[in-house]
Structure 1
Amino acid sequence: MTAVASISAAVSRLQELLLDETRPLSQLEPVVESTVLPRLQGWEEMLMALPAHKIRVKGAQDDLEFGRRTRSLLSSIEDKVESYALQLGSATSSSREARMGSLSKISCGGGGGGENTAFEKVVADLKDAVDGLKDCVTSYYRQQNQNLAIRKRGQKSQWLVSRANFSSGRWGDEAFGLEEEVRELTKVLVSEETDPRVVFIVGMGGIGKTILAKKQFNHPDVRHHFKGFAWVYVGGYWSTRDILVTILDQLSSLPRKKREAMMKSEEVELAPQEFRILQRKSCLVVLDDCSDHELLDILSIAFPFAVRSASASKFILTTRNRNLSRFLDPGAVHSLRMESLNPKKSWDLFSHIWLKLEGGPIPGKLVPIAWEILARCEGLPLAIIVLASMLRTEREGERVLHNLLENRRQMDGFPIGFHCLLSAYYALPLRLKACFLYLGNFPNNSRIQVEKLCQLWIAEGLISAEDRASEETMMDVAAKYFGELAVRSLVTLEEDAVSDLRLMSGHIQGLIRSLCIIEGREDEFFEIMPGSEPCMISKAQRCAIYFDKYYSVSNVIPSANLRSLLCLNSEQSRQGSRWPQGLFNFRKLRPLRVLDFDRVSFQDGNLPQGVGELVYLRYLSFRGCYLEDLPSYIGNLLYLQTLDLRVQKDCIMTISNVIWKLERLRHLYFPLAFQTPDHGGMLKLDSLKQLEILEGLNTSVCRAKDLIKLTNLRILAATAEGNLEDLELIIRFIGINSSHLKRASLDIKKFDCYSDERLSFIKRLFSCPVLDTLQIEGHIGKTSEIGTISGRFTEIVLNGSELDQDPMPTLENLPNLRILVLEVEAYLGKKLHCSDTGFPELRSLKLSKLYNLEEWEVDEGALQKLSTLEVSMCRRMKKLPEGLQSIITLRKLKVSMMPQQFLGRLRMKNGRGGEDRHKINSKCSIEFGNDDPWLESTNSASQQNNSFDGRITESQASSSSRSPNLIGSFACLPETERERDVYLQ
């Protein structure tokens, strides 16, 4: 697969260069178009016809050498064409001499031969590379045709222990066929008896251990029984400190500063704290994929599961190690062994998946094939789900069955069901194979942001421009690729409050990820650190380094032909990692196309040496990093397509006025807080005519008038600091580009409406037909001034609006509204009312700091899709509305800084619910804030002093609020979007 995929990717990238208007190839274009591309496409078709392409031959040295030689020659071809384009562009620019100095080492021509000399040289070099590739491909083709029998699989690949994310999966919420197990474990967990306090869920990979544990973790009876909950993924490369910090962070109710101090504590300090919490209150802790008895010994210092005690806390451990429970007191353990499904249950699950996908029973002609496939799944639920998702026609079924029979004979010694997943992989179209394997780069138990993944695929050349329809962007094509993998159940979409696929996140099940890693490594498609070796020794062109797991990063020796480097930290690594000084000299990694710094701290303020010379870079990300200054040499990276500057929230980045030079940019993300070196200059953006995504635009630092030139923009998220002229320009741009603008978000700061001119703008703002998200801060006054509201809005945040009349009758008729926030006296009245059928699509509602609000009424039939409700700092509100009990979709209620009377009606008393408990459905979890003691004192104070108006100082609010703090006018995205981690993790 790797050679064919490499040729396909090279074709895609060369076609993209031909279409690039910013750097035309001039004389070289007909050479590439008539000679290079047709030959590459012909060789791709020739290799596709080989039987060895359909059933991958493992362990064959000639295959690996062919793949290496092919990649090397293709890289040479691309490098020559790209270098020529850069040199040609430099020769026509005003800064030719400065640029030529940095390109002289990589250019294909000589230093002083002129354009003709450079052209002749690159043509000759291209001819040599193409001829070399021709010899390589034809020799391999002849050799393969001499022996059509597929060779036996070589030595078994190393098994990398991995596990799935505990987040809700496509079929995970239903826990299909696990009803008996759920009842058994629920009885054990909610029992008043102290023992058994440790529940072991034991079984092979893909059997459903994590799904069952998640079902218990969210079970209504379990949620009501325990007072604290924590979930941590362990895996094969565990860190005691990371585990303790993750659990303590979920169980404790510490203010922000104490929480940050805790993150820096050592294990010896963390363990006693954790032990006291677990002893003092009843908690449920889940350790997912815990297979090492040494870890149990270490954690016994922090967890009261190894000794008899009066603690009411209990633990769930999922494991593949059936002997793990022997290391604990037998009286403290309840073990549940998960077995493979019998034929009837296997058929039931298969039929269930088919019904979900196709909306009807399995056609009669497919039933025999389905039973044949089931017989080879050996009762493994994951294998059944994946193969059922791939079966559409009789022909597809026969192909899947054929691959199963072939692979079963070659899979002795591998886990049960693994051959089923391998067959599903082989059945993928070529364009999806490489995209699927790419998923193996990401750490276990991590959420994969779909938008980022699509951009990486594009930068790697894995997305074919031939699949792009009229008016579609490459991001649209990449999103379709991801959707095809999701339909096949090879990747799972996590539920979210957004409808745009690219704003969602996903994850892959552990066994599927293991398939990606095994296939990817044997194909030399990528390398992962940490791995089995102390340094990188493979010839792979892609490398992912897990900084929080690999403690010898100084030993990493990157391949000289490396083209993609992902420096990643798992989600459990809360602080990220410092960049080791002198780790890489990027001058030696000039071929890099992708460089991703994920939550890496550059505290010394400097990027590693040589980053400014990576002129081939397509993708550069500093998301979640700490980097105060963006070097001006970023302006020399002329091939950049994606630049992500969303650094840590507490980091104010200084950006020089060089972004305008990056004319190929398609995706640009500014940080929450940024400035120019002169603290008053404005960034130019008007030359970025290929830009498709622009997020974080702040009119205090960027020129709003430049938007008019960005006619290719598809997504815009902007912040304006109350300047009416800038706002008019933004609304005008949105209106002009309404035909192709897919999403527009606007955050308006300090915009008080005390003039007719501003009130007139407010009416036009709310009626804008192409605005999706609006956050507005400032006085509006009369609710009637809002006027007609566009039905396109999916999110509205009103902050300090001081509306005189109930806004719900106006807002509840919006057909697409999913998120609504009313905060900081957005409404001054005493009563809110939601009528029946109101808010048909609303998923999230937040009411905060509505100091006058006393009563909230919800009619039966309103808010029928609400899943998250947050109520905070509404001190005159005494109870929840009765109408909430009809909302069966509600899953989370967050309550903080509310009156004691309000809290008392919700809290459990003597094992029984409060007066308002019946208003919340049994599947809804209730999360209380950590501010009850403070509230009690303020309530007492208010009773003694009637002048207290219920307002909370900013210092008090910031010490207890869970919402992220905004940095002045630099906040560029709606708060609710930040909280959902759509834009920032």
Structure 2
Amino acid sequence: MADAAISFVLENLAQLLIRELREFFISKKEVTAKINQIQASVLLLQPQESNPPRRASDFRLSLQRETKDIIYRFENVKENFAIVVGSRRPFSSRYFKELREIYTELLEIENKIFLLEENTALEDMELLLSYIKNPSCRVIGICGMGGSGKTRLARRLCNDAQVKDQFDVVAWVHVSLDFQPRRSFENLYVQLDRNHKGPVSDMNESDLARRIYRIQQKRKCLIVLDDLWSSDAWGTLCVAFPSGKTDSKILITSRVIQVVEAAEIVAGKRYIHKLRPLTQAEGCQLFMNGLVPDFLDNEIVEEMGKEMVKCCEGLPSAILDFIDFMQIRNHTLSWMEVRRNLESYVRESQEYGTTLKSLTLSYDNLPHDLKQCFLYLGHSQEHSRIEVEKLYLLWLAEGLISVEDCGREEMLLNVAERYLEDLARRSMIEVQEEEVTTVTRFMSCQLSQQMRRLCLMKSEEQNFFRVVDFGCDTHQSQREVVWPQQLSSLVKFKYLRILEFMGISFEVRSLILEGIGKLVHLRYLSFRDCTLPELPSSIGNLKLLYVLDLRVVNTMVIPDVLWKLKKLKHLYFPLSFKTHGARKLRLDGLTDLETVTNLNMKMCNVEDLFELYNLHYIALSIPGSLEEIELIVKLMNMNSEARSLRASLEVSNFDCYTEERLAALKQLLECQSLIVLCFGGHISRLPLHDEISSNLAKIVLDGSELMEDPMPTLEKLPKLRVLVLGVDAFAGKSLSCSALGFIELRRLELLNSQYLEKWTVEEGAMLRLSILTIVNCKKLKELPKGLLSVSTLQQIRVKGMCKEFQESTSEFQHELTIIIED
């Protein structure tokens, strides 16, 4: 019995001694683990200096100072750790004492980071805090693709001291794809009413929603709906949020921007912040701070980090996945090997980590039609921008956009644009808008590298498409295509829907087109950038053709067979073409035609266009003919409920010295269908702004010899985005742009105005101007000071200007790109 008691006491004393020894003796492994743990936080603290605001706020400056202090202190601790483990005798008392001191300091740094709330994006935090303080802001949205850091930023915002002071309570609910209304309401209510007694399970959903509603009216609440996926989920939750006056606010994180926009129905006003990718400098710092100390001075690793950030395209989750992946494998792989095969290792790390899984959720949540359109993007070359208009036509030709998708009086191109915009709003693609909207609103789109991998992976899973390599090769000296034997006869591909030739010379390869008329299933046929002397007349057999692109580089002979293509929707003529025997091409019967470009009024029966009621866009040139201008004015004015025409016109050699010609020009400028006008010829004086179409988005004037300042007239056009005053367009001495003028102008060019001496811009004018070009205005001495207030200005290009003018650009050089050419 005594032995058992002694044994029990000794065992407990041993355990107590072990605990005390463990508290004193800190191992190298434990310190390394703590360093790695803190690195995951410190790497989020790097200041973003790539695009600093013009005036840094007190908040930004103080946050920068505090952030730098933490970073420098942590770097010192890591260096000290490397010295201790490298120079001290292991297991000595001094060794363990210094490890313990390092560990204690790491805990202090960890606590400071917690207090700082890991404010990684200073500008993001500053902007979101301004939304929080704004009384008119009811809903704040943080949007971005999967892995961009939405939830992390929302947590930092909620933990910020200013936010905690402003609200009585902060409640957080993670919604996700697995949305369960009951669970969400319960979570919210428990957090909002800490004094509630009894089980919440006794209340039904309606009762919970009413109680949550009342609490927000009585107290200042910040409610976070994290990872909200659908407008339907918001529609279910919104009954719990007051639509009247309240000081409470809602913070939503979502990949889908429409979800945040839907909150406006209840909240009245919402503010949306879209996260940007990390810059290369930010991504490199994130990578280097995430490594264990052994690799910090490794030049190979540092250089590889720069390449890795490009592969990850600035996506934080992808960079973190790579760090985790490499730390697990750093004993089995050399960094040289990793760098040689970097892209494959980055791809493997994303499959191993969370990035690809996170992006897959975005794909799984797509409607069926959008899934197909997304997978089709996998055809694109890696890192390439995809021409949007061409993409729409390919979707149409492949049957991914059908008539059933259209609303009343809606064109198929409009449906395609809705689809692309939906993918962009879900943060699955990046889109670039057209400078001037004609056929489409967007100019190009692009998949991120991560999204493209997802696209290819899903395409392979579903056998969506397959690339067949026929072994086309290019001779290096002559850049001559070595044509594969398998493509010697097109008749073999009788079920082909899409046939696109790019940059092919058919002067030496004309036999290839034999039998093209037998490809009766073709929907899309393109000879863009090819050399094709004559279009085969057999294309008249292609009764199902939707798209015909004849934008070749040479003058083409076109036989009069286009009228047979009754299903044709989109017709692109070459810049220069002829017909057999000077006959005009018939276009009658093409009742489905929606767009036609490069129309030559001398070569086509323009009267046929009057019967084409589905015509949406037309682009043509008129070489100085009064009759043709009157005809096109008549066409553009034939708008009705069943027809909405948009037109781009290039008028050359049309001098308005007679009243008849001035009247024709005035009628042309009044046409509401006119979107783009490039006009060459004498005008002398513009009509008043209310006599010019408010839909004009682009105006190019050459040789107009305007004596009066055109700016007071043109600046009032509400949709004008591009203005070019070309050679001798303005013959006066001064131009003046008033405040609030040119509200949509993006690009302005002043070219060869030899008499221009003074240009004034009032503060508040041209607030969206992005690109300014001034060429050979030799009497102009300086840039207007008013341009300094245009925060959107990105580039100024100057050529052939006097030295005094060039020197005046120095005030702008720290803000934007200045290009000066002699």
Q: TM-score range by the shorter chain?
A: 0.5 to 0.7
Which of 390, 399, 409 aligns to 1:461? It is 399
Paired residues of 2:472 and 2:482 also in contact (CA < 8 A): no
Q: Give me the whole-angstrom Cα distance separating, in 2, the residues matched to 1:412 and 1:828.
A: 61
Taking a change above 3 Å as real, the CA distance of residues 371 and 774 of structure 1, as seen in their structure-2 partners, is closer
Q: What's the counterpart of residue 797 of structure 1?
A: 700
Q: How does 1:163-174 map to 2 (within 5 A)?
A: none
Paired residues of 1:868 and 1:893 also in contact (CA < 8 A): yes
Q: What's the counterpart of residue 367 of structure 1?
A: 173
Amino acid of the structure 1 residue aligned with 2:458? E
User: Which 5+ residue runs of structure 1 have no aligned equivalent?
Assistant: 1-176, 187-214, 221-341, 374-386, 402-409, 530-534, 537-549, 555-572, 906-914, 933-985
Q: Choose 606-615 or 479-488, whichever is displaced more.
A: 606-615
Report the number of matched residues: 529
Q: Give me the whole-angstrom Cα distance separating, in 1, the residues matched to 2:795 and 2:376.
A: 34
Q: Give me the whole-angstrom Cα distance separating, in 2, the residues matched to 1:858 and 1:417.
A: 49
Q: Deviation at 1:868?
A: 0.8
RMSD: 4.0
Q: Deviation at 1:425?
A: 1.0
Q: What's the counterpart of residue 810 of structure 2?
A: 917
Q: What's the counterpart of residue 137 of structure 1?
A: none
Paired residues of 2:473 and 2:482 also in contact (CA < 8 A): no
Taking a change above 3 Å as real, the CA distance of residues 726 and 179 of structure 1, as seen in their structure-2 partners, is farther
Q: Deviation at 1:774?
A: 0.9
Q: Deviation at 1:925?
A: 1.0
Taking a change above 3 Å as real, the CA distance of residues 605 and 219 of structure 1, as seen in their structure-2 partners, is farther
Q: What's the counterpart of residue 725 of structure 1?
A: 627
Q: Deviation at 1:623?
A: 2.3
Taking a change above 3 Å as real, the CA distance of residues 715 and 495 of structure 1, as seen in their structure-2 partners, is closer
> Which SS does the other structure have where 1:798 is aligned?
strand
Q: Give me the whole-angstrom Cα distance separating, in 2, the residues matched to 1:681 and 1:179.
A: 71
Q: Give me the whole-angstrom Cα distance separating, in 2, the residues matched to 1:483 and 1:576.
A: 38
Taking a change above 3 Å as real, the CA distance of residues 581 and 898 of structure 1, as seen in their structure-2 partners, is farther
Q: Deviation at 1:578?
A: 3.8
Larger Cα Rg: Structure 1 or Structure 2? 2
Q: What's the counterpart of residue 603 of structure 2?
A: 701
Q: What's the counterpart of residue 667 of structure 2?
A: 764
Paired residues of 1:844 and 1:868 also in contact (CA < 8 A): yes
**Is residue 433 from structure 1 mapped to residue 338 from structure 2 by the alignment?**
no
Paired residues of 2:666 and 2:687 also in contact (CA < 8 A): no
Which of 490, 502, 505 aligns to 1:598? It is 502
Which string of whole-angstrom CA distances, capped at 9 and with x for unpartnered residues, describes residues 593-623 of structure 1? 1112234444526254433321111111222
Paired residues of 1:700 and 1:720 also in contact (CA < 8 A): no
Paired residues of 2:375 and 2:459 also in contact (CA < 8 A): yes
Q: What's the counterpart of residue 681 of structure 2?
A: 778
Q: What's the counterpart of residue 506 of structure 1?
A: 445
Q: Give me the whole-angstrom Cα distance separating, in 2, the residues matched to 1:178 and 1:667.
A: 50
Q: What's the counterpart of residue 573 of structure 2?
A: 670
Q: What's the counterpart of residue 243 of structure 1?
A: none
> Which SS does the other structure have where 1:916 is aligned?
helix
Q: Give me the whole-angstrom Cα distance separating, in 1, the residues matched to 2:676 and 2:433.
A: 19
Q: Deviation at 1:412?
A: 9.8
> Which SS does the other structure have where 1:646 is aligned?
coil
Q: What's the counterpart of residue 842 of structure 1?
A: 745
Amino acid of the structure 1 residue aligned with 2:732? G
Taking a change above 3 Å as real, the CA distance of residues 831 and 509 of structure 1, as seen in their structure-2 partners, is same
Q: Deviation at 1:767?
A: 1.5
Q: Give me the whole-angstrom Cα distance separating, in 2, the residues matched to 1:414 and 1:589.
A: 41
Amino acid of the structure 1 residue aligned with 2:594? E
Which of 443, 457, 461 aligns to 1:522? It is 461
**Is residue 355 from structure 1 mapped to residue 293 from structure 2 by the alignment?**
no
Taking a change above 3 Å as real, the CA distance of residues 922 and 397 of structure 1, as seen in their structure-2 partners, is farther
Q: What's the counterpart of residue 477 of structure 1?
A: 415
Quote the sequence identity (%). 38
Which of 621, 634, 637 aligns to 2:539? It is 634
> Which SS does the other structure have where 2:415 is aligned?
helix
**Is residue 180 from structure 1 mapped to residue 119 from structure 2 by the alignment?**
no
Paired residues of 1:576 and 1:600 also in contact (CA < 8 A): no
**Is residue 927 from structure 1 mapped to residue 819 from structure 2 by the alignment?**
yes
Taking a change above 3 Å as real, the CA distance of residues 413 and 765 of structure 1, as seen in their structure-2 partners, is closer
Q: Give me the whole-angstrom Cα distance separating, in 1, the residues matched to 2:171 and 2:681.
A: 65
Taking a change above 3 Å as real, the CA distance of residues 717 and 707 of structure 1, as seen in their structure-2 partners, is same
Taking a change above 3 Å as real, the CA distance of residues 726 and 864 of structure 1, as seen in their structure-2 partners, is same
User: Which 5+ residue runs of structure 2 have no aligned equivalent?
Assistant: 1-42, 56-115, 129-138, 145-149, 159-169, 180-225, 238-253, 256-347
Amino acid of the structure 2 residue aligned with 1:867? S
Q: How does 1:222-241 map to 2 (within 5 A)?
A: none
Which string of whole-angstrom CA distances, capped at 9 and with x for unpartnered residues, describes residues 421-444 of structure 1? 122211111111111100000111
Which string of whole-angstrom CA distances, capped at 9 and with x for unpartnered residues, describes residues 838-881 of structure 1? 11111111111222222211111111110111111222222212
Q: Choose 738-747 or 442-451, whichever is displaced more.
A: 738-747
Q: Give me the whole-angstrom Cα distance separating, in 2, the residues matched to 1:511 and 1:799.
A: 47
Q: Give me the whole-angstrom Cα distance separating, in 1, the residues matched to 2:754 and 2:228.
A: 52
**Is residue 644 from structure 1 mapped to residue 559 from structure 2 by the alignment?**
no
Q: Give me the whole-angstrom Cα distance separating, in 1, the residues matched to 2:547 and 2:611.
A: 19
Q: What's the counterpart of residue 204 of structure 2?
A: none
Taking a change above 3 Å as real, the CA distance of residues 776 and 179 of structure 1, as seen in their structure-2 partners, is farther
Q: Give me the whole-angstrom Cα distance separating, in 1, the residues matched to 2:609 and 2:178.
A: 59
Q: Deviation at 1:628?
A: 3.2
**Is residue 421 from structure 1 mapped to residue 324 from structure 2 by the alignment?**
no
Q: Deviation at 1:182?
A: 4.7
**Is residue 812 from structure 1 mapped to residue 720 from structure 2 by the alignment?**
no
Q: What's the counterpart of residue 520 of structure 2?
A: 615
**TM-score, scaled to structure 1:** 0.49
Paired residues of 1:644 and 1:669 also in contact (CA < 8 A): yes
Q: Give me the whole-angstrom Cα distance separating, in 2, the residues matched to 1:389 and 1:602.
A: 54
Paired residues of 1:720 and 1:726 also in contact (CA < 8 A): yes
Q: Deviation at 1:653?
A: 2.3
Q: Deviation at 1:716?
A: 1.4
Paired residues of 1:640 and 1:664 also in contact (CA < 8 A): yes
Which string of whole-angstrom CA distances, capped at 9 and with x for unpartnered residues, describes residues 350-406 of structure 1? 997971559999999873235999xxxxxxxxxxxxx958454549999x99xxxxx
Taking a change above 3 Å as real, the CA distance of residues 817 and 784 of structure 1, as seen in their structure-2 partners, is closer
Q: How does 1:2-21 map to 2 (within 5 A)?
A: none
